[in-house]
Amino acid sequence: MKKQILDATRRLRQQLPYLPQAFKLVKTAAGGLAVVWAVLLLVQGLLPVAAVYLTRTLVNGIAAIIGAGGGWEAMRPLLPSGVGMALVLIGMEVFQSAGRWAGTAQAERVQDHVQALIHQQAMRLDLSFYDDPGYYDQLHRARIDAISRPAALLENAGTLLQSFITLAAMGGVLLTFGIWIPLLLAISTMPALLVVLRHTIRFHRWRLHNTTAIRQTSYYDLMLTQREAAAEMRLFGLGPHFRALFKGLRERLRRERVQLARSEAVSQAAAALIGLGSMGGALAWMGLQALKGAARLGDLALFYQAFFQGQRMLRSLLGSAGEIYRNIMFLENLFEFLALEPKISSPVRPLPHPGLQKEIEFQNVTFRYSGMTRAALEGFSLRIPAGKITALVGENGAGKTTLIKLICRFYDPEKGRLLIDGTDIRDLSLPKLRQRITVLFQDPVRYHDTVFNNIAFGDLANSPGMEQIEAAARAAGADAPVLRLPDNYEAVLGKWFGGAELSGGEWQRLALARAFLRNAELIILDEPTSAMDSWAEADWLQRFRQLVAGRTALIITHRFTTALQADIIHVMDSGRIIESGSHEELLAARGRYEESWTRQMRGKRD
């Protein structure tokens, strides 16, 4: 037990610095509502003391009147005390209700503020954080475990303050009967304090240890319920498998959680019995005083209420202190997450963007993803000329998509440089760099929103109008499927909110329209026709060169019919360029490109 107390004390010292941060966060979110709530708590803390004193006055007065054989007339002097008691009881209910309202309103504001901070931080961090499973654990603890903790901490602090005010007043009342009474009251609740500390630490350790397991149960639940996985779940009969995984993990978590709760319940019951024994002893002593004539009936009622309320308030105070400790431990997760710093950021004094007039150049670039031993690119060099269409072809895993991530500066190279017209992109403003690039990603997001917004998200900062949206849709070949929808560009897409569903190729064309909407000097298309049928692909390719005229385009593709549109084609393999040239030059070289072209064309004929 001594070791547990020392451990709790050490951890409390480590986490106390988070307490002022939490209260500052609450103050920022709640504003003046926090002051109103604090005043309501103060009044609620004083009203029980008034009730105790009025009880003694009423009991003593009624006992005296009954002893003297007086009637209703003799009770008139007690009328003010009776009215006062009624007002106090009414006030306790009214202020308690008002306090609950203020607490709820404050908690909602704080929760919204914390969610906004988490969303802001999640968008601020680099893509590399998503390569680390430890980051997912941190994000989960911040979102699930810590998001309500500041509001809970405030509520616990309020209860603590209210209990302390009532306890101090009750202690003053008990002090009139003897100095040992308040000491007995304090000692009788010490076991409850030890129980709170011990189980708070145990639960926090359990929660940290099982964060990954809890995330896994959420994943299995999604696989069993989300639309994206529904078809394969049914076709391949995967439902029983994922249900078994979910059930097995939940059974273990539930068993461990119930064991913790059972241990805590037993300890709390033992602590409560000690408290009841102490109260019984104190009441027996007070009864003896009453039998000796040293105390009146009202004093006995006052003592009982003061000791009982004091013990209850002290347990409440210790419980609130334990909850504060628990919340501080979880707030550590929130503030650690908010303290994460991105590795990719704008320089303090960024250089002006040179404008893409000459070329993009990879100079001896080496890059590997976090946790990977093999480099995705090693000593990689490549020049992408401005104003031309460049295609990259190669097998999966060759490193083609990695180039997009480096150009957009989602990652920085380990070695080497990436230059735009001779300027290292690390010396440029990050937002301004990305504003000059538009990308169709290989797996574009399907926004469950209107068609208009699905396209407008490509250049939301410039508030595009309907004319621009329609032009982008025509450029991507998305206008025909859109015009078939009942509400055209105002039609809601996706099944989440009861919208229309599109085919894979139609979703891809919307993503293309989104990419074309931004009038960027660099257009990057990652497998732009992979979800299109051959007719839609042929239609789009006929217009492609016109769409990108005067701009720099980089196409990543497996389809040679798409690569044919490029001025220069680079063949990648294992993170390096093995062939370069025009389509005709590469066929004449009779290398990897010609071999793949022949095989693909033969497959089409077959």
Asked if pLDDT for residue 602 goes beyond 60, the answer is yes
Indicate the pLDDT class of residue 70, thresholds 50, 70 and 90.
Answer: low
Q: Are residues 285 and 193 in the same domain?
A: yes
**Of 519, 549, 580, which closes a domain?**
519
Task: Give the ranges where 466-523 is alpha helix by DSSP (H).
Answer: 466-476, 479-483, 504-517
Residue 475 has a pLDDT of 83
Residue 208 has a pLDDT of 73
Query: Across 409-472, where does the E strand assignment appear?
Result: 415-420, 423-424, 437-440
Asked if pLDDT for residue 605 goes beyond 60, the answer is no
The CATH number given to whatever domain includes residue 485 is 3.40.50.300
Residue 506 has a pLDDT of 82
Q: What tens digit of pLDDT does each residue of 526-536 get?
A: 877 776 666 66
Asked, for residue 239, whether it belongs to a domain, the answer is no
Asked, for residue 77, whether it belongs to a domain, the answer is yes
Q: Which residues pair with 2 in a beta bridge?
A: none
Q: Are residues 418 and 537 in the same domain?
A: yes
More confident of the two residues 591 and 606 = 591
pLDDT above 70 covers what percent of the chain?
A: 67
Query: Across 49-190, where does the E strand assignment appear?
Result: none
Asked, for residue 3, whether it belongs to a domain, the answer is no
Asked, for residue 38, whether it belongs to a domain, the answer is yes
Asked if pLDDT for residue 97 goes beyond 60, the answer is yes
pTM: 0.68
The CATH number given to whatever domain includes residue 87 is 1.20.1560.10
Residue 314 has a pLDDT of 62
Task: Give the length of the chain.
Answer: 606
Asked if pLDDT for residue 296 goes beyond 70, the answer is no
Residue 307 has a pLDDT of 62
Residues 81, 85: Cα–Cα separation, whole Å:
6
How is the beta sheet containing 576-581 ordered, strand by strand? Answer: 437-440, 522-526, 552-557, 389-394, 568-573, 576-581
Indicate the pLDDT class of residue 168, thresholds 50, 70 and 90.
Answer: low
CA dihedral of residues 585, 587, 588, 589 (deg, nearest 10): 90
Indicate the pLDDT class of residue 272, thresholds 50, 70 and 90.
Answer: low
CA nearest neighbour of 193 among 13, 323, 309: 323
Mean pLDDT lowest among 1-15, 51-65, 504-518: 1-15
Judge whether 88 and 80 are in contact, CB under 8 Å.
no
Q: Are residues 148 and 91 in the same domain?
A: yes
Q: Are residues 51 and 144 in the same domain?
A: yes
Residue 251 has a pLDDT of 86
CA nearest neighbour of 566 among 578, 557, 579, 577: 557
Provide the 10 A C-beta neighbour count for residue 71. Answer: 7
Q: Which residues pair with 415 in a beta bridge?
A: 366
- Span 369-379, mean pLDDT? 81
Which residue is associated with the tokens 């303090």?
348
Asked, for residue 280, whether it belongs to a domain, the answer is yes
- Span 572-598, mean pLDDT? 81
Q: Are residues 427 and 464 in the same domain?
A: no
Q: Are residues 566 and 536 in the same domain?
A: yes
Asked if pLDDT for residue 492 goes beyond 80, the answer is yes
Q: Are residues 274 and 130 in the same domain?
A: yes
Q: Are residues 160 and 93 in the same domain?
A: yes
Q: What tens digit of pLDDT does each residue of 389-442 get?
A: 888 887 776 777 888 888 888 888 888 899 988 889 899 988 888 888 888 887
- Span 74-94, mean pLDDT? 75
Residue 323 has a pLDDT of 66
**Of 315, 338, 361, which closes a domain?**
338
Residue 324 has a pLDDT of 66
Q: Are residues 459 and 558 in the same domain?
A: no
Residue 315 has a pLDDT of 63
Q: Total structural domains in the chain?
A: 3
Q: Are residues 511 and 533 in the same domain?
A: no
pLDDT above 90 covers what percent of the chain?
A: 0
Residue 236 has a pLDDT of 65
Question: 361 in helix, strand or coil?
Answer: strand
Residue 551 has a pLDDT of 84
More confident of the two residues 448 and 276 = 448
Indicate the pLDDT class of residue 146, thresholds 50, 70 and 90.
Answer: low
Domain that holds residue 481: 446-519
Q: What tens digit of pLDDT does each residue of 300-355 get?
A: 665 666 666 666 666 666 666 666 666 666 677 777 788 888 888 888 898 888 88
Q: Are residues 34 and 53 in the same domain?
A: yes
Q: What tens digit of pLDDT does each residue of 179-233 get?
A: 666 666 666 666 666 666 666 677 767 777 787 788 788 888 877 777 666 666 7
Q: Are residues 287 and 329 in the same domain?
A: yes
Considering the chain, what is the average pLDDT of its residues?
A: 75
The segment with the largest mean pLDDT, out of 83-97, 168-182, 371-385, is: 371-385
Asked, for residue 244, whether it belongs to a domain, the answer is no
- Span 229-246, mean pLDDT? 74
Asked if pLDDT for residue 78 goes beyond 80, the answer is no
CA distances, 409 to each of 402, 426, 511, 576 (Å): 10, 8, 21, 20
**Of 289, 310, 338, which closes a domain?**
338
Asked, for residue 313, whether it belongs to a domain, the answer is yes
Asked, for residue 223, whether it belongs to a domain, the answer is no
- Span 60-82, mean pLDDT? 66
